[in-house]
Amino acid sequence: MKRRVIFIMLLGLAVTAVGSSAEPVAVKKQPVLVMVHGAWAGGWHMRKVAPLLEARGYTVYTPTLSGLGERYHTATPAIGLDVHIEDIVNFILFADLHDVMLLGHSYGGMVITGVADRIPERIARLIYLDAFLPEHGESLMHLRRTNSRPIEQMTRDGFIFPTWVKPDKPFPRDVPQPLKTFTDPIALKNPAAAKIPGTYILTVEKGKAPEDDDFYPAAERAKARGWPVITMEADHVPYWRQPAETAELLLGLR
């Protein structure tokens, strides 16, 4: 019995010695990507591309903004741009996310710009996917091209109803957007946000010139900031119609 106890003690000492002398194993951090959808949409818009990125090592979050998607039951005309910015700020803070790659699509560009201004220390990179890129004091209404259909023609009771938003469509579906999210000017006050690297992805439909695209001015603004601008042959929602291509492009930004 004594010999068995001594053997076990010696074995334990040997394991301890090996463990203390071994080099610590480096754990590679998984990239964290938060994808912010555009107007009338919801987190469900990203359901095709998110699994492709997760299969390649990304941790992907696709939150839904207040009053949209599965949160449409909370919709009121009082929801403005600041509410949507706070949605994502609080999502990042309460999930305790750091070194976030923050992507905004279309209207989502307004949102991620505000998020970066408020919590720049949490953001590693900004990705604008065919998105608005505002400066201080600008609203989405100011940034829309003059040849776009007037928003007033689509507005009713404080909400924007484009032609494709219809209540008889099956779920999941796009829903009316609070008008205030388009008319609120963005307030940008934090100079630290300007130090966050950014990438702009301009989607251009086949046969069209980039200069004719609605988001070309935003891409030019990104280029003036020294950011890389990637042109992708696709329509405005590549994550839905070309999820594999969109995933590959985003993987190249790691």
Chain segment 60-99, per-residue pLDDT in tens = 999 999 999 999 999 999 999 999 999 999 999 999 999 9
Task: Estimate to the nearest angstrom the gap between the alpha carbon of 113 and the chain centroid.
Answer: 10
Work out the average pLDDT over 46-65.
98
Work out the average pLDDT over 49-63.
98
87: left (phi over 0), alpha (psi -120 to 50) or beta: alpha
> Given this model, what pLDDT does residue 23 score?
54
> Given this model, what pLDDT does residue 147 score?
67
Return the percentage of the chain with pLDDT > 70, whole number.
88
What 3-state class would DSSP assign to 251?
helix
What is the chain's percent helix, strand, coil content, to nearest 5?
40, 15, 45
Pairing state between β 198-204 and 229-233: parallel
Predicted TM-score (pTM) of the model is 0.89
Task: Of 96, 126, 93, 94, give the one whose Cα is nearest residue 111.
Answer: 126
Work out the average pLDDT over 210-227.
97
- 30 or 224, which is more confident? 224
- Give the CA distances from residue 188 to residues 25, 49, 92, 168, in Å, rounded to whole numbers and listed in that order: 42, 31, 19, 39
> Given this model, what pLDDT does residue 96 score?
98
Task: Using pLDDT thresholds of 50, 70 and 90, give the confidence band for residue 26.
Answer: low
| Structure token pair of residue 74 | 């909370």
**From CA 10, how far away is CA 13, in angstroms rounded?**
5
To the query of whether residue 139 is one of the catalytic residues in this protein, the response is: no
Domain boundaries of the chain, sorted by first residue: 27-251
**From CA 55, how far away is CA 157, in angstroms rounded?**
43
Given 20, 106, 139, 148, the catalytic residue = 106
Q: Which of the listed CATH numbers 3.40.50.1820, 3.90.1200.10, 3.40.50.620, 3.20.20.70 matches domain 27-251? A: 3.40.50.1820
**From CA 108, how far away is CA 38, in angstroms rounded?**
5
